[in-house]
Amino acid sequence: MKVLVFTKYPRMGASSRLRTLQYLPLLEQHGFEFTVRSLFDEAYLENLYNNSSRSRLAVLKYYCKRLITLFSVYRYDLIWIEYELFPYLPAFAERYLRLIGKEYIVDYDDAIFHNYDLFDNSIIRKFLAKKIDMVMAKSSCVIAGNAYLAERARAAGGKYIEWVPTVVDQSRYVPMLKEKGNQKVIGWIGSPSTQKYILDIKEALHTVCELHSARLLLVGATQDIVDEFSGIEVEVAAWSEDSEAQLIQQMDIGVMPLPDGPWEKGKCGYKLIQYMACGIPVVASPVGVNNDIISDGKCGYLADNLEQWADSLSILLSSQEKRQMLGDAGRKAVEKTYSLQVQAPILARIFNSIIKSDVT
Protein backbone atom coordinates (compact mmCIF):
# COMPACT_ATOMS: atom_id res chain seq x y z
CA MET A 1 0.00 0.00 0.00
CA LYS A 2 1.57 3.24 -1.17
CA VAL A 3 1.30 6.43 0.90
CA LEU A 4 2.40 9.90 -0.21
CA VAL A 5 3.45 11.98 2.80
CA PHE A 6 3.33 15.77 2.63
CA THR A 7 5.31 17.07 5.62
CA LYS A 8 5.99 20.72 6.31
CA TYR A 9 9.65 20.21 7.14
CA PRO A 10 12.43 17.62 6.85
CA ARG A 11 13.59 15.75 9.95
CA MET A 12 15.09 18.87 11.53
CA GLY A 13 11.56 20.21 12.05
CA ALA A 14 10.14 18.90 15.32
CA SER A 15 6.51 18.65 14.20
CA SER A 16 7.37 16.70 11.06
CA ARG A 17 9.85 14.45 12.84
CA LEU A 18 7.56 13.59 15.75
CA ARG A 19 4.16 13.40 14.09
CA THR A 20 5.21 11.66 10.89
CA LEU A 21 8.79 10.73 10.15
CA GLN A 22 9.58 8.78 13.32
CA TYR A 23 6.66 6.45 12.57
CA LEU A 24 7.74 5.38 9.09
CA PRO A 25 10.05 2.44 9.96
CA LEU A 26 7.41 0.82 12.20
CA LEU A 27 4.60 1.48 9.74
CA GLU A 28 6.63 -0.10 6.95
CA GLN A 29 6.50 -3.30 8.99
CA HIS A 30 2.71 -3.15 8.57
CA GLY A 31 3.06 -3.25 4.79
CA PHE A 32 3.06 0.46 3.91
CA GLU A 33 5.43 2.02 1.42
CA PHE A 34 6.10 5.75 1.91
CA THR A 35 7.19 8.57 -0.34
CA VAL A 36 7.99 11.72 1.67
CA ARG A 37 7.85 15.21 0.21
CA SER A 38 8.57 18.10 2.59
CA LEU A 39 7.48 21.61 1.69
CA PHE A 40 10.49 23.43 3.13
CA ASP A 41 14.10 22.29 3.35
CA GLU A 42 16.76 22.52 6.06
CA ALA A 43 18.13 25.82 4.72
CA TYR A 44 14.71 27.40 5.22
CA LEU A 45 14.51 25.98 8.74
CA GLU A 46 17.96 27.25 9.68
CA ASN A 47 16.96 30.75 8.57
CA LEU A 48 13.73 30.41 10.55
CA TYR A 49 15.53 29.35 13.73
CA ASN A 50 18.13 32.13 13.32
CA ASN A 51 15.42 34.75 12.69
CA SER A 52 16.97 35.40 9.29
CA SER A 53 14.95 36.64 6.35
CA ARG A 54 13.38 34.06 4.05
CA SER A 55 13.49 34.78 0.33
CA ARG A 56 10.05 35.11 -1.25
CA LEU A 57 11.50 33.69 -4.44
CA ALA A 58 12.70 30.62 -2.53
CA VAL A 59 9.24 30.17 -0.97
CA LEU A 60 7.68 30.41 -4.42
CA LYS A 61 10.03 27.64 -5.61
CA TYR A 62 9.03 25.46 -2.67
CA TYR A 63 5.35 25.97 -3.53
CA CYS A 64 5.90 25.22 -7.21
CA LYS A 65 7.72 22.02 -6.37
CA ARG A 66 4.83 20.89 -4.18
CA LEU A 67 2.31 21.82 -6.87
CA ILE A 68 4.15 19.59 -9.34
CA THR A 69 4.11 16.72 -6.83
CA LEU A 70 0.33 17.00 -6.59
CA PHE A 71 0.03 15.70 -10.14
CA SER A 72 1.48 12.35 -9.02
CA VAL A 73 -1.12 11.62 -6.31
CA TYR A 74 -2.96 9.13 -8.54
CA ARG A 75 -0.08 6.67 -7.97
CA TYR A 76 -0.83 6.37 -4.26
CA ASP A 77 -3.46 4.65 -2.14
CA LEU A 78 -3.49 7.36 0.52
CA ILE A 79 -2.24 10.91 1.09
CA TRP A 80 -0.95 11.90 4.55
CA ILE A 81 -0.77 15.68 5.11
CA GLU A 82 0.82 17.62 7.95
CA TYR A 83 -1.45 20.61 8.65
CA GLU A 84 -2.17 21.87 5.11
CA LEU A 85 -0.66 21.75 1.66
CA PHE A 86 -0.03 25.46 0.99
CA PRO A 87 0.22 27.76 4.02
CA TYR A 88 -1.42 31.17 3.62
CA LEU A 89 -3.16 30.19 0.41
CA PRO A 90 -6.78 29.04 0.02
CA ALA A 91 -7.36 25.29 0.27
CA PHE A 92 -7.50 24.72 -3.48
CA ALA A 93 -5.14 21.72 -3.32
CA GLU A 94 -7.20 19.88 -0.70
CA ARG A 95 -10.34 20.60 -2.74
CA TYR A 96 -8.57 19.15 -5.77
CA LEU A 97 -7.83 15.93 -3.90
CA ARG A 98 -11.50 15.51 -2.99
CA LEU A 99 -12.58 16.41 -6.53
CA ILE A 100 -10.54 13.55 -7.99
CA GLY A 101 -11.68 11.18 -5.25
CA LYS A 102 -8.31 10.87 -3.53
CA GLU A 103 -8.48 10.04 0.19
CA TYR A 104 -6.34 12.15 2.47
CA ILE A 105 -5.51 12.18 6.19
CA VAL A 106 -4.57 15.45 7.86
CA ASP A 107 -2.60 15.62 11.11
CA TYR A 108 -2.47 18.40 13.73
CA ASP A 109 -0.30 18.80 16.80
CA ASP A 110 -0.74 22.57 16.97
CA ALA A 111 -3.58 25.08 16.72
CA ILE A 112 -2.48 26.32 13.33
CA PHE A 113 -6.02 27.48 12.53
CA HIS A 114 -5.12 30.43 14.76
CA ASN A 115 -2.58 31.43 12.12
CA TYR A 116 -5.65 32.63 10.26
CA ASP A 117 -8.59 33.28 12.57
CA LEU A 118 -6.44 35.26 15.05
CA PHE A 119 -4.19 36.93 12.49
CA ASP A 120 -3.70 40.69 12.88
CA ASN A 121 -4.37 41.34 9.20
CA SER A 122 -8.13 41.62 8.60
CA ILE A 123 -7.77 40.45 4.98
CA ILE A 124 -6.19 37.17 6.11
CA ARG A 125 -8.94 36.71 8.68
CA LYS A 126 -11.65 37.44 6.13
CA PHE A 127 -10.47 35.01 3.46
CA LEU A 128 -8.64 32.30 5.43
CA ALA A 129 -10.22 32.18 8.91
CA LYS A 130 -12.13 29.00 8.01
CA LYS A 131 -9.46 27.45 5.78
CA ILE A 132 -8.33 24.76 8.22
CA ASP A 133 -11.96 23.96 9.04
CA MET A 134 -12.52 23.22 5.36
CA VAL A 135 -9.36 21.08 5.17
CA MET A 136 -10.59 19.11 8.17
CA ALA A 137 -14.12 18.72 6.81
CA LYS A 138 -12.93 17.45 3.43
CA SER A 139 -10.45 14.97 4.87
CA SER A 140 -11.01 11.24 5.22
CA CYS A 141 -9.62 11.47 8.76
CA VAL A 142 -8.35 14.17 11.12
CA ILE A 143 -5.63 12.95 13.47
CA ALA A 144 -5.53 15.30 16.47
CA GLY A 145 -2.84 15.47 19.11
CA ASN A 146 -5.17 16.65 21.88
CA ALA A 147 -8.80 17.30 22.77
CA TYR A 148 -8.70 21.00 21.84
CA LEU A 149 -7.65 20.15 18.29
CA ALA A 150 -10.14 17.28 18.07
CA GLU A 151 -12.97 19.56 19.19
CA ARG A 152 -12.09 22.04 16.45
CA ALA A 153 -12.22 19.20 13.93
CA ARG A 154 -15.65 18.16 15.20
CA ALA A 155 -16.94 21.73 15.00
CA ALA A 156 -15.58 21.96 11.46
CA GLY A 157 -17.57 18.91 10.39
CA GLY A 158 -14.78 16.34 10.32
CA LYS A 159 -16.26 12.95 9.48
CA TYR A 160 -13.67 10.76 11.19
CA ILE A 161 -11.49 12.05 14.04
CA GLU A 162 -8.84 10.09 15.91
CA TRP A 163 -6.73 11.13 18.90
CA VAL A 164 -3.06 10.21 18.55
CA PRO A 165 -0.77 11.92 21.08
CA THR A 166 2.71 13.12 20.30
CA VAL A 167 4.99 10.33 21.50
CA VAL A 168 8.57 9.23 22.09
CA ASP A 169 10.45 6.12 21.11
CA GLN A 170 10.57 4.40 24.50
CA SER A 171 13.69 2.51 23.52
CA ARG A 172 15.61 5.81 23.15
CA TYR A 173 14.27 7.48 26.28
CA VAL A 174 15.03 5.37 29.34
CA PRO A 175 15.38 6.18 33.05
CA MET A 176 18.87 6.56 34.46
CA LEU A 177 19.77 5.81 38.08
CA LYS A 178 20.72 9.00 39.95
CA GLU A 179 23.41 8.98 42.62
CA LYS A 180 22.22 10.15 46.04
CA GLY A 181 23.77 13.36 47.32
CA ASN A 182 24.43 14.86 43.90
CA GLN A 183 23.33 18.44 43.20
CA LYS A 184 19.71 18.38 42.03
CA VAL A 185 18.89 19.57 38.53
CA ILE A 186 15.68 21.30 37.41
CA GLY A 187 15.47 20.90 33.65
CA TRP A 188 13.65 22.38 30.68
CA ILE A 189 13.85 21.53 26.98
CA GLY A 190 12.64 23.76 24.17
CA SER A 191 13.86 26.26 21.60
CA PRO A 192 14.80 29.94 21.39
CA SER A 193 11.21 30.75 20.41
CA THR A 194 9.76 29.09 23.54
CA GLN A 195 12.38 30.01 26.15
CA LYS A 196 10.26 33.05 27.06
CA TYR A 197 7.98 30.66 28.97
CA ILE A 198 10.72 29.64 31.41
CA LEU A 199 11.15 33.32 32.31
CA ASP A 200 7.53 33.40 33.49
CA ILE A 201 8.57 31.28 36.51
CA LYS A 202 11.97 32.90 37.01
CA GLU A 203 11.22 34.05 40.57
CA ALA A 204 10.11 30.58 41.68
CA LEU A 205 13.18 28.98 40.13
CA HIS A 206 15.44 31.49 41.89
CA THR A 207 13.76 30.75 45.21
CA VAL A 208 14.00 26.95 45.08
CA CYS A 209 17.48 26.81 43.57
CA GLU A 210 18.84 29.02 46.34
CA LEU A 211 16.94 27.14 49.05
CA HIS A 212 17.92 23.64 47.86
CA SER A 213 21.28 24.41 46.20
CA ALA A 214 19.86 23.16 42.90
CA ARG A 215 20.86 24.21 39.40
CA LEU A 216 19.08 24.72 36.09
CA LEU A 217 19.70 22.82 32.86
CA LEU A 218 18.09 24.57 29.87
CA VAL A 219 18.26 22.56 26.66
CA GLY A 220 17.74 24.44 23.41
CA ALA A 221 17.75 27.94 24.90
CA THR A 222 20.09 30.73 23.84
CA GLN A 223 23.14 31.52 25.95
CA ASP A 224 21.93 35.01 26.84
CA ILE A 225 19.16 33.56 29.02
CA VAL A 226 21.82 32.94 31.68
CA ASP A 227 21.81 36.68 32.41
CA GLU A 228 18.20 36.38 33.57
CA PHE A 229 19.19 33.99 36.37
CA SER A 230 22.08 35.77 38.05
CA GLY A 231 22.93 34.28 41.42
CA ILE A 232 22.10 30.65 40.60
CA GLU A 233 23.91 28.02 38.54
CA VAL A 234 22.57 27.68 35.00
CA GLU A 235 23.79 25.40 32.23
CA VAL A 236 22.59 25.96 28.67
CA ALA A 237 22.97 22.95 26.39
CA ALA A 238 22.54 22.97 22.62
CA TRP A 239 19.73 20.78 21.36
CA SER A 240 20.29 17.92 18.94
CA GLU A 241 18.20 14.89 18.17
CA ASP A 242 21.10 12.62 19.09
CA SER A 243 21.72 14.18 22.52
CA GLU A 244 18.28 15.25 23.79
CA ALA A 245 17.47 12.01 25.61
CA GLN A 246 20.86 11.92 27.35
CA LEU A 247 20.47 15.54 28.45
CA ILE A 248 17.03 14.88 29.91
CA GLN A 249 18.44 11.91 31.83
CA GLN A 250 20.63 14.37 33.74
CA MET A 251 17.55 16.14 35.15
CA ASP A 252 15.86 15.39 38.47
CA ILE A 253 12.69 17.39 37.68
CA GLY A 254 11.28 18.51 34.34
CA VAL A 255 9.25 21.71 33.97
CA MET A 256 6.80 22.98 31.37
CA PRO A 257 5.44 26.46 32.10
CA LEU A 258 2.83 27.83 29.67
CA PRO A 259 0.49 30.82 29.60
CA ASP A 260 -3.21 30.01 29.26
CA GLY A 261 -3.89 31.23 25.72
CA PRO A 262 -5.56 29.85 22.59
CA TRP A 263 -2.25 28.89 20.98
CA GLU A 264 -1.04 27.10 24.09
CA LYS A 265 -4.26 25.05 24.30
CA GLY A 266 -3.18 23.44 21.05
CA LYS A 267 0.15 22.21 22.43
CA CYS A 268 0.50 18.45 22.89
CA GLY A 269 2.73 18.27 25.97
CA TYR A 270 5.72 16.70 24.26
CA LYS A 271 8.18 18.07 26.85
CA LEU A 272 6.24 16.31 29.60
CA ILE A 273 6.30 13.04 27.71
CA GLN A 274 10.05 13.30 27.17
CA TYR A 275 10.61 13.85 30.88
CA MET A 276 8.22 11.06 31.84
CA ALA A 277 9.89 8.59 29.49
CA CYS A 278 13.15 9.17 31.38
CA GLY A 279 11.43 8.51 34.71
CA ILE A 280 11.55 12.17 35.78
CA PRO A 281 8.71 13.82 37.77
CA VAL A 282 7.18 16.90 36.18
CA VAL A 283 5.74 20.26 37.14
CA ALA A 284 3.65 22.09 34.54
CA SER A 285 1.11 24.84 34.05
CA PRO A 286 -2.51 23.61 34.09
CA VAL A 287 -3.05 24.47 30.43
CA GLY A 288 -4.63 22.29 27.79
CA VAL A 289 -3.36 18.74 27.51
CA ASN A 290 -0.96 19.20 30.45
CA ASN A 291 -3.94 18.62 32.74
CA ASP A 292 -4.73 15.27 31.13
CA ILE A 293 -1.16 14.00 30.95
CA ILE A 294 -0.31 14.77 34.56
CA SER A 295 -3.68 13.84 36.06
CA ASP A 296 -3.99 10.58 34.15
CA GLY A 297 -0.37 9.60 34.66
CA LYS A 298 -0.16 10.80 38.28
CA CYS A 299 3.38 11.78 37.46
CA GLY A 300 3.79 15.29 38.85
CA TYR A 301 2.19 18.56 39.87
CA LEU A 302 0.20 21.32 38.19
CA ALA A 303 1.22 24.85 39.21
CA ASP A 304 -1.00 27.84 38.46
CA ASN A 305 1.05 30.63 40.06
CA LEU A 306 4.55 31.36 41.34
CA GLU A 307 3.73 30.17 44.85
CA GLN A 308 2.48 26.83 43.56
CA TRP A 309 5.53 26.50 41.34
CA ALA A 310 7.87 27.09 44.27
CA ASP A 311 5.94 24.74 46.56
CA SER A 312 5.77 21.92 44.00
CA LEU A 313 9.44 22.16 43.12
CA SER A 314 10.42 22.29 46.80
CA ILE A 315 8.42 19.16 47.59
CA LEU A 316 10.20 17.25 44.84
CA LEU A 317 13.66 18.61 45.62
CA SER A 318 13.17 17.61 49.27
CA SER A 319 12.10 14.02 48.65
CA GLN A 320 13.97 11.45 46.62
CA GLU A 321 11.17 8.99 47.39
CA LYS A 322 8.54 11.32 45.92
CA ARG A 323 10.64 11.92 42.82
CA GLN A 324 11.06 8.18 42.33
CA MET A 325 7.37 7.42 42.81
CA LEU A 326 6.14 10.09 40.39
CA GLY A 327 8.92 9.33 37.91
CA ASP A 328 8.02 5.64 37.86
CA ALA A 329 4.36 6.53 37.28
CA GLY A 330 5.32 8.75 34.35
CA ARG A 331 7.41 6.02 32.76
CA LYS A 332 4.50 3.58 33.06
CA ALA A 333 2.18 6.10 31.39
CA VAL A 334 4.61 6.39 28.47
CA GLU A 335 4.83 2.61 28.11
CA LYS A 336 1.03 2.36 28.20
CA THR A 337 0.05 5.31 25.98
CA TYR A 338 2.69 7.86 24.99
CA SER A 339 5.13 5.72 23.03
CA LEU A 340 5.85 5.13 19.38
CA GLN A 341 5.53 1.41 19.97
CA VAL A 342 1.93 1.80 21.22
CA GLN A 343 0.68 4.38 18.72
CA ALA A 344 2.20 3.01 15.47
CA PRO A 345 -0.27 0.07 15.31
CA ILE A 346 -3.10 2.53 15.90
CA LEU A 347 -1.96 4.62 12.94
CA ALA A 348 -1.69 1.47 10.83
CA ARG A 349 -5.29 0.59 11.75
CA ILE A 350 -6.46 4.08 10.73
CA PHE A 351 -4.65 3.89 7.40
CA ASN A 352 -5.99 0.43 6.64
CA SER A 353 -9.56 1.41 7.47
CA ILE A 354 -9.47 4.35 5.07
CA ILE A 355 -7.77 2.48 2.25
CA LYS A 356 -10.20 -0.44 2.55
CA SER A 357 -13.22 1.87 2.66
CA ASP A 358 -11.96 3.58 -0.50
CA VAL A 359 -11.59 0.25 -2.27
CA THR A 360 -15.08 -0.89 -1.31
Residue 279's pLDDT band, with cuts at 50, 70 and 90, is very high
- Strand 33-38 relative to strand 104-108: parallel, antiparallel, unpaired? unpaired
What are 95-126's pLDDT values in tens digits? Answer: 999 999 999 999 999 999 999 999 999 999 99
Binning pLDDT at 50, 70 and 90, where does residue 180 land?
A: confident
Which pLDDT score is estimated for 54?
73
Q: What is the largest CA-CA distance in the chain?
A: 67
Percent of the chain with pLDDT over 70: 99
- CA torsion through residues 352, 353, 359, 360, sign: positive
Residue type, position 50, single letter: N
List pLDDT tens digits, range 141-162: 999 999 999 999 999 999 999 9
Enter the pTM of the model. 0.93
pLDDT at 193 over 70: yes
> Is residue 359 very low, low, confident or very high in pLDDT (cuts 50, 70, 90)?
very low
pLDDT score at 56? 87
CA distance 49 to 239: 12
To the nearest 10 degrees (0 to 180), the angle between helices 289-297 and 270-277 is 20
Arithmetic mean of pLDDT, 164-190 = 93
What band does 358 get if pLDDT is binned at 50, 70 and 90?
Answer: low
* 330 has pLDDT over 90: yes
Q: How far apart are CA 167 and CA 23, in angstroms?
A: 10
Per-residue pLDDT at 178: 82
**Domain residue spans in the chain?**
2-167+339-359, 185-336
Asked whether the domain spanning 185-336 has the same topology as the one spanning 2-167+339-359, the reply is yes
| H/E element, 108 | strand 104-108
- CA distances, 239 to each of 83, 192, 219, 244, 336 (Å): 25, 10, 6, 6, 27
Please tell us whether the domain made up of 185-336 is placed in CATH 3.50.4.10. Answer: no
Superfamily of domain 2-167+339-359: Glycogen Phosphorylase B; (3.40.50.2000)
